[in-house]
Amino acid sequence: MIEINGKKTNFTDADWKVCIILDACRYDIFRDVYKDIIKDGTLKKTYTNCSGTFEWMQDNFKDEDCSDIIYINPIVMFDKFMPNSTFYKVVNVWEYGWNYTYGTILPSEMTKTALEVMAKYPEKRFIIHYHQPHPPYLHPDFIGIEGPVDTPEEILKMKEKKFNILQCIQGNIRKLIGSNCAWNLLTRLGITPTDYYGKIYKRYGKERIVSGYIETLRLTLEEITKIIENTRGKVVITSDHSKNFDGGQKDIEKQPVPWMEIDNL
């Protein structure tokens, strides 16, 4: 269930031929960026009331008839999130399109696959789930900022990883004094934060956290224009949840995300 301009509706019942999901996309950043790239369309606010992708998938697709929908998917954990989905087809792009430099699926790979599948199944509806602007950011500045990137195989074994005492301690420090103060303290002590945004903060400063997000969103929107150009019917651009630039989860479910409608007749 989603809420668009105050009106609640079932996600799968909403009017769209192609629905593009921008993972962890903030409404305010999207609003400020999209006009330079996407010229047509109507932007509205929506609330998913979710703080993460798993929650969003469960809330919108569990026990729903999705037999007319093909899901173009970059999420390695999709089968664990939706073990008995009723989608007509799930195309797992991560199985063959993983980028080992950035540790994610690049938007160009998602677009390439989506256009191929759309041409093959023109009668179906499509969800195209871009992993961006969610980190890791797609700019050379951020290559290697996390150290060696996880492979899909490692992500699937994530629950088997051992407890990390440093992550736990730093996480509690961030909760106690706030992320910015914690990052500043650790940086002054010569300690590298364990979280992605903290590592960016230490290397480049706070402003680069936001600018990296914007750059990644712009790059992704450029790819989305190719989907729009090749679709006959309504295209919706939205998100599964918002994002906090301090890396925390506070009130994410209360924050708006974009719901942009583009009619291609």
Domains and CATH numbers, the chain: 2-141+218-264 (3.40.720.10)
Q: Which pLDDT tens digit goes with each residue over 236-258? A: 999 999 999 998 889 999 999 99
Flag whether the pTM goes above 0.85. Answer: yes
The amino acid occupying position 152 is P
Residues of the chain with pLDDT under 50: none
Q: What is the pLDDT of residue 265?
A: 65
For 157-176, write each residue's pLDDT tens digit: 775 556 688 889 898 999 89
How far is C-alpha 38 from the chain's CA centre?
19
Whether the Cβ atoms of residue 59 and residue 168 lie closer than 8 Å to each other: no
Distance (Å, whole) CA 176 – CA 169: 11
Which percentage of the chain shows pLDDT scores above 90? 84
Give the pLDDT of residue 17.
Answer: 97
Predicted pLDDT at 159: 55
Tell me if 194 sits within 8 A of 167, measured CB to CB.
Answer: yes
Count how many residues are written for the chain.
Answer: 265
Q: Which of 129, 147, 134, 155 is nearest to 60 (CA)?
A: 129
> Contact 236/16 with Cβ under 8 angstroms?
yes
